[in-house]
Amino acid sequence: MRQPLFIIFFILFSSLKINAQVSGKFYSIKRVSDGDTVVIQDESDNQYKIRFIGIDAPESRNVGNRKQVQVFGSEAKTHLKKLLFNKKIRLEFDVQKIDRYGRTLAYVYLENGVFLNQYLLAKGYARIATFPPNIKYVEDFRKSEEKARRNKLGMWMYY
């Protein structure tokens, strides 16, 4: 009798944990900051900066002495803007939810189910950038980037 109760408890706990990690809400895009960062707005007009987990797009603007404009940065930002025009996104979280700059870290999905983090890698608009503990999709990301490199897609046409 104890084992069936344990199994039921485990299933309930697992589903609660999964639901806490995935937002079922869709958010409007306020603006695209870069090829891997957007600002969303919730129903209360609160704004949040969302940094896509597992990827790094080339810089599209200078940020002090820290970051300089990079080759293909403008193209990556423009492509993301086009993808997100009049669209909403859903967020999925990993272990760490906020980075040291106060940005929310997330895997990002369009309403039609397109997984944007992986899509940007697959099309050559970003490179893999893994920062443990957020490594849920690292193998999928690695394969997507390798394929884009092999096919000289996006920024990989320059390398």
Residues marked as catalytic: 51, 59, 103
Residue from 159, 112, 129 nearest 36 by CA: 129
Contact 141, 55 (CB under 8 A): yes
Match domain 26-157 to its CATH number in 1.10.150.20, 2.40.50.90, 3.30.420.10, 3.40.50.300: 2.40.50.90
pLDDT at 62: 65
Task: State how far the Cα of 143 lies from the Cα of 145, in Å rounded to an integer.
Answer: 6
Q: Each residue of 40-63: pLDDT tens digit?
A: 999 999 999 999 999 999 986 666
CA gap 51, 93 in Å, rounded: 11
- Give percent of the chain above pLDDT 70: 78
The pLDDT value given to residue 104:
98
Q: Is the dihedral of CA 72, 120, 106, 40 positive or negative?
A: positive
pLDDT score at 9 = 37
